[in-house]
Amino acid sequence: MGKMRAATALAGATVLAVALTACGGGDDSGGGDGKTLNVLIGANTQYPDEFQAWQKDISAKFKAQTGAEVKFETFASANDELTKIQTSVVAGSGPDVYAVGTTFTPTAYSTGAFVKLGDDEWKKIGGKEKFNPATLGISGPDEQNQVGIPWVSRPFVMAYNTEILKAAGIDKPATTWDELGQQAKQMTKGDQYGLAIAYKDNFDPWKFVWGMSAQAGNPLVDGKTARLADPTVQKAYETYFGWLAQDKVVDPAAVGWTNPQAVAAFAKGKTGYFALTTTTAANSLNQGAVKGKWKFALLPTVPPGATSRPANGVEAASILSGDNLLVADYSKNKDLAFEYVKLVTDQEVQLDYYKKFGNLPANAAALQTLSSDETLGPVTEAAKKSVATPFTGAWSDIQLALTNVAVQSLPDLAKGSISPAQIESRVAEAQKSAQSALDRAK
């Protein structure tokens, strides 16, 4: 019966969308006056009031420039956004501009519902050169087929407790995964742990595994072939689980942690490293016992078991993380849409956005002004050294399969023993579903 409801809802949405096509369709008159541009953007639950104010401010600027109104529509979760994209795509009407997460961009691209950016389009928004080159990595499958315009970056970094590292005689943060494990061992004693890892998070695990594998020369996807059943992936999982199961450098309670719980644990000031975080966690950290005693550092870029990166390894400091702006193909206000994109990717607006919400600029000049900031140095570096996850419509499935390996391993992890064979069989399953997703990719 639950299924039926879901199916009914799905079908209902489809019917509705089709019906809406009939009444949809905006005006197509020239000039900006009297027109309205619809922008779909993620809600900001952390700073809702500031976000409202920002929207007002942008609307006013846009009105002054073009005479047109901007109407913001917010979505609460990725799921909401996806539903909105689905109905709009089917209906051929809806928001003109979408703000879409980087890892979701390939999926959005695969619907074929967004404007491909040619020279003209790039010119309209101020040229490709104005962006941090790394952020363009996930705009499209190749240079000729780009749909995503980088808007903000949220690169992943580590946070470390300066006092705990110092007390353990560590003078600088680890740059290889092995070194990280080693330092974590040095710092673990009593109720103090070397690492905080969110093992039960629904996204964190795959980011570790992808990063370590990419550094070892395996991007996980090779054309139409999934490369999950590979020694690099096996090694990545062994390292990732090993911190808790073998090395015991992570609080055993971490098998139940999502990322915000790991932030909270690190904020108590009893952990050396918090291995995967972004600038948006800074506020939480500054409210905890760790205030004034923490710094950001680049995640290790040398794969586990190695002291230097192999020749085919990539210096992936972080997944390419943040938001892209996409202009809908069905939009009747494309010119206005690009003017909006130009506005919000300009240096001044980008810096203002960073100050308000902690998201790094995708604008290269704006990012440069932040790199002199000591706290942010490693983060801006991570933004430049971010590497795009494989650009395929199958990525959401692959990501899910990688996370699933961690989810199903938690009971073994809690018992403190997870054998390579167990990992291998779960990875084999993930390989199967990743490959079948790639086989379906068009």
Which parts of this chain interact with another protein (CB under 8 A)? Answer: 1-12, 14-15, 79, 82-83, 86, 89-90, 107, 110-113, 200, 202, 251-253, 255-256, 258, 261, 393, 396-397, 400, 403-404, 407-408, 410-411, 414, 437, 440-442
CB closer to another protein out of 254 and 349: 254
CB closer to another protein out of 131 and 274: 274
- Minimum CB separation of residue 399 from another protein in Å reads 9
112: left (phi over 0), alpha (psi -120 to 50) or beta: left
CB closer to another protein out of 4 and 64: 4
- Minimum CB separation of residue 129 from another protein in Å reads 32
- Minimum CB separation of residue 331 from another protein in Å reads 14
CB closer to another protein out of 286 and 425: 425
Element (H, E) at 240: helix 231-245
Residue 308 is encoded by which pair of tokens? 């230097």
> Do 174 and 300 form a contact (C-beta atoms < 8 A)?
yes
- Minimum CB separation of residue 441 from another protein in Å reads 7
- Minimum CB separation of residue 17 from another protein in Å reads 9
> Do 194 and 185 form a contact (C-beta atoms < 8 A)?
yes
- Separation of alpha carbons 292 and 399, rounded Å: 35
- Separation of alpha carbons 390 and 57, rounded Å: 36
Amino acid at 374: E
Q: Cβ neighbours of residue 343 under 8 Å, at least 6 residues apart? A: 58, 61, 62, 65, 349
Q: Cβ neighbours of residue 308 under 8 Å, at least 6 residues apart? A: 302
CB closer to another protein out of 323 and 397: 397
> Do 299 and 382 form a contact (C-beta atoms < 8 A)?
yes
Supply the DSSP symbol for 330. Answer: T
CB closer to another protein out of 31 and 416: 416
- Separation of alpha carbons 231 and 234, rounded Å: 5
CB closer to another protein out of 134 and 434: 434
- Minimum CB separation of residue 438 from another protein in Å reads 12
- Minimum CB separation of residue 408 from another protein in Å reads 6
